Structure formats: structure tokens, C-alpha cells
Amino acid sequence: MMAMLEIQHVHTYYGNIHALKDISLNIDKGEIVTLIGANGAGKSTTLKTISGLLRPRHGTIQFEGEDLTRYLPHEIVAKGVVQVPEGRRVFGRLTVTENLEMGAFAITDRQVISKNLERVFALFPRLKERRHQVAGTLSGGEQQMLATGRALMANPRVLLMDEPSMGLAPVLVDNIFDTIRQLHADGTTILLVEQNARIALQVASRGYVLQSGVILLNDTAENLRMNEMVRKAYLGES
């Protein structure tokens, strides 16, 4: 079976800086795959390359048999490859509902939008309570819910999550990852980029370890958790 999202031999440059060196990874339908690595390893670059914000110099990105590198960012969103941006980045001056509606920009069918809105409110009852509140006044955890909900409004076929745990208190991180599990149970395909390798490897089925733009390891989450190198470098165990 062909993978839903398949990245092959991708090289991405920032000017002369070779940021991604021959990256290959694949994600099957309904799977959670995590990409872990330290700061500057190329995790966010990989996501930006997939969503079309950066163009790879070599390599292909196949999504359900189509080459994504030929499309513009907004066309890629319309195809169902949707990003939850790093650091949440909600529209601070808009209300919660307005933020969510903005997430559905690529969708023109009103009924689909209200159905999605209900679904997001069912997933995050907290957002429903605060639907008229200005997003900038939400707490960090609520903003992460909103950023996730906003991405879900676009009917994602693959959800690209960039560091959802960033800057959140541990209890909120657990909350967010409960949501990710729930999304997985509902059948959403997720590519999860995380610095917090411990928790990422708990929810993911497979993982890739990225270092200096190169994929070092590629294995099931369980094997990665057991891996000597991963334990030392990313899980902080000795």
C-alpha cells in the first residue's frame, strides 16, 4: 500500500545553507508519526517544506499520489494538508469563533463549516464556553486548543502539528496530548513535530529522529524509546 504522505530525498536550502539533507519519510492513513530532534535540527523546516512555504531544491513530496511541490501554500491547504503553527499564533484580536471561522477559509460550503464548528466545540468544550472571547485573552493552553481547532476547521486529511507542547505547563501538555490521542482515535492522520520526545513517543506509532538536517533513526515508537542513543540524547536518561 502506498503511504498517504510520502517525502522522498528532499533537500531544502535557506540561501546557501543546506537545511534538509536527503530527508525521506512517510505517513500512512490514520497514523501518528512523530519527528523529534533538538533545536535547529530541521523539524520546522520539514513542515514548512511540506506545506509549501519553502520549496525543496531536490526530491518529491507525494500526497495521495500527487506531487505537492508543484502547488502553492494555499492550494496545499485546500488539498487537506493543514498546519497548526508553532507557538500557537492565534489571531489575537479576533474572537474564538472568528478564529475558527478563519480556519475554514478554504471551505465554501456553509453547512460543512457549521458542522466542523460543532465538532470542534464538542472536542474542546472550553472553547465553546469562551466562543465570544477575544483570542488574545485566552490562556496558553486554551490558545493551543484554539490553534488546533482552527486547523481542524479546514477538514484536514493530514494534520501537521508544530511543537504543540511549547511553553505550556506540564498539566496542559498532558491535556493537549489527550486531545491528540482522541483525534487519532477519530481517524485523523497526524505528523507531530516535538522537542518533548518522551511524550511524543508515547502517542506516536512511529518516529523519526532528526539531527542537523539528516534523519538519524527511523523506527517504531517503542523501539525508539528503548534505543540507547535516543534515551541518552532525547529522553534525558543515563
Partner 1 sequence: MSITHSLWKTGLKTGLIGGVVSVLLALIGMVEGFSQRDIINEVISMGHTLLLLVVVFITYLSAKRTTSRTKVLALVNSLVTGIVTGIFLVLLVILGNVVNLRSIFVNASPVLYNIMTFGQGLMNGSLLLLVVAALIGLLTGLVYLLPNLLRRVLVTSLSSVVLAGVVQDLLRPTLAAWGPIAVVSEWIFTANGLSLPGAIVLAVVIAIILLFWSFKGKAIQTGVKNLPSGQQRVLRYIGFSILILVFLILPQVLGLFLSEVLTIVGLYVLLGLGLNIVVGYAGLLDLGYVAFFAIGAYTAAILTSPELGFFHFSFWSALPIAIIMGIISGVILGIPVLKMRGDYLAIATLGFGEIIRILVLSDFLRPWLGGAQGVGKIPKASIGSFEFARPQEIYYLILAGCLLVIFISLRLRDSRLGRAWMAMREDEDVAQAMGINLVATKLLAFATGAGFSALSGAIFASKLSSVYPHSFNVMISINIICLIIVGGMGSIPGVIVGSVALVGLPELLREFAEYRLLVYGAALVVMMLLKPEGLWPAEIRRRELHEGEPKTTEQVLPPEGGLSSNEEGA
Amino acid identity, position 151? A
Minimal distance, residue 211 CB to partner 1, in Å? 26
- Judged by CB under 8 A, does residue 110 bind partner 1? yes
Q: Least Å distance between CB 44 and partner 1?
A: 12
> Is there a contact between 121 and 128 (Cβ–Cβ < 8 Å)?
yes
At residue 7, what are phi and psi to the nearest 5 degrees? -110, 125
Stretch that binds partner 1, among 8-16, 28-36, 73-81, 208-216 (CB under 8 A): 73-81
Beta strands at 206-211 and 32-37: parallel, antiparallel or unpaired = parallel
Whole-angstrom Cα distance, residue 5 to residue 40?
A: 23
The verdict on 140 binding partner 1 (CB under 8 A) reads: no
When asked if residue 139 is in the footprint of partner 1 (CB under 8 A), the reply is no
Q: How far is the CB of 114 from partner 1 (least distance, A)?
A: 7
DSSP letter string, 73-110 = HHHHHHHTEEEE-TT----TTSBHHHHHHHHTTT---H
Residue 35 has a CB neighbour count (10 Å cut-off) of 25
With respect to partner 1, which residue has the nearer C-beta, 136 or 167? 136
Instruction: Please identify, among the stretches 15-23, 77-85, 186-194, 220-228, the one whose residues bind partner 1 according to the rule CB under 8 A.
Output: 77-85
Alpha helices per DSSP H over the chain: 43-50, 73-79, 96-103, 110-123, 125-129, 140-152, 170-185, 197-203, 221-226, 228-233
> Considering beta carbons, is residue 41 or 77 the nearer one to partner 1?
77
Residue among 44, 45, 49, 83 that touches partner 1 (CB under 8 A): 83
Counting residues that bind partner 1 (by CB under 8 A) gives 36
Q: What are phi and psi of 225, to 5 degrees?
A: -60, -30
Find the part of the chain contacting partner 1 (CB under 8 A) among 61-69, 133-141, 165-173, 212-220. 133-141
Which positions lie near partner 1, rule CB under 8 A?
A: 51, 53, 72-74, 77-78, 82-83, 85, 89, 91-95, 97-98, 101-108, 110, 113-114, 132-134, 136-137, 150, 154
